[in-house]
Amino acid sequence: MSILEAVIVAIVEGLTEFLPISSTAHMVICSSLMHFEKDPFTKYFEICIQFGAILSVLVLYFKKFINFKSPAFYLKLIIAVIPYLVLGFLLNDFIDDKLESPLFIAVIMILGGVLLLFVDRWFSAPRILREEDIDHKLALKIGFFQCFAIIFPGLSRSAATIIGGMSQKISKEVAAEFSFFLAVPTMAAATLYKTLSYIKKEGMFSAEQLTTLAIGNAVAFVVALLAIKFFINFVKEKGFKMFGIYRILLGSVVLILIFMKVIG
């Protein structure tokens, strides 16, 4: 993987990780169109640059994450992330298999887009308007909703948690922010697991690989920082319909490219 390719992938990751449009789908599409060589390091890189995106959440919500006087916040995140970690470990091989299938991901992109067309109308009367009002039981429910992103790669972890939260009468802004918070332990655990697995199979990283990882994470951090700010403001004003339309259009384009054998 060249530095230019790493930067492109990092930009895609930063733009899409926290939006309900599936970073997984965009990474697969990007790698298919650019014909990346799917060696172990490239596969690892596409996962580990999530670390840069994680840092953007910690920076934007710094006061939230350093408020050690409020252990309830951390406990909710721990409770919510457990279902994802357990299912992710059990379905690791299934996930890797589906990540190699642009067709499967394109179909899920379209179906997820259809859902986003209607969520603002379906869940228009929220009762929970603050993160503090999300209790442990509700946090666990959101954690189970997050698992749909494992079962259906291309759905989007962000979309699954936000739609799940809204279905439980949480406002769309609070549901989106809780999705950001939950991304921190979720993606940190995934990155750690993939790092340990990579080192076990491939050995330590070379100096060139470490440089590529550093640049990729730095780019993902900056781009994700901007994407999160855009997303919250956009959702408040416009809702999720435009994201649904985008998903349907992109999924349809991918299906056409698969049919034309441009990607496969």
Q: Where are the domains of the chain?
A: 3-259
- The pLDDT score that the predictor gives to residue 179 is 93
SS3 128: strand
Position 97 pLDDT exceeds 70: no
How far apart are the C-alpha atoms of 232 and 182, rounded to whole Å? Answer: 16
pLDDT surpassing 90 at residue 182: yes
Say which residues have a Cβ less than 8 Å from residue 257's Cβ, sequence separation at least 6.
33, 263
Quote the CA–CA distance of 138 and 144 in Å, as a whole number.
Answer: 10
Q: How far apart are CA 91 and CA 113, in angstroms?
A: 24
Q: What percent of the chain has pLDDT over 90?
A: 52
Q: What 3-state class would DSSP assign to 123?
A: coil
Average pLDDT, the chain: 89
Q: How far apart are CA 6 and CA 44, in angstroms?
A: 12
Report pLDDT digits (tens) over 126-165: 899 999 999 999 999 999 999 998 888 888 899 999 999 9
What pTM was estimated for this model as a whole? 0.88
Q: Judge whether 105 and 98 are in contact, CB under 8 Å.
A: yes
Burial 20-48 (b: 16+ CB within 10 A, else e): bbbbbbbbbbbbbeeebeeeebbbbbbbb
Residue percentage of the chain with pLDDT more than 70 = 96
Rounded to 10 deg, the angle between the 241-259 and 23-34 helix axes is 30
Residue with the bigger pLDDT between 34 and 112: it is: 112
Contact between 101 and 31 (Cβ < 8 Å): no
Strand partners, 170: 128
pLDDT in tens, 15-73: 999 999 988 888 878 877 777 777 889 889 988 898 899 899 999 998 888 877 678 89
Q: How far, in Å, CA of 248 to CA of 35, rounded?
A: 23
Which tokens in the block code for residue 229? 């700010």
Contact 7, 215 (CB under 8 A): yes
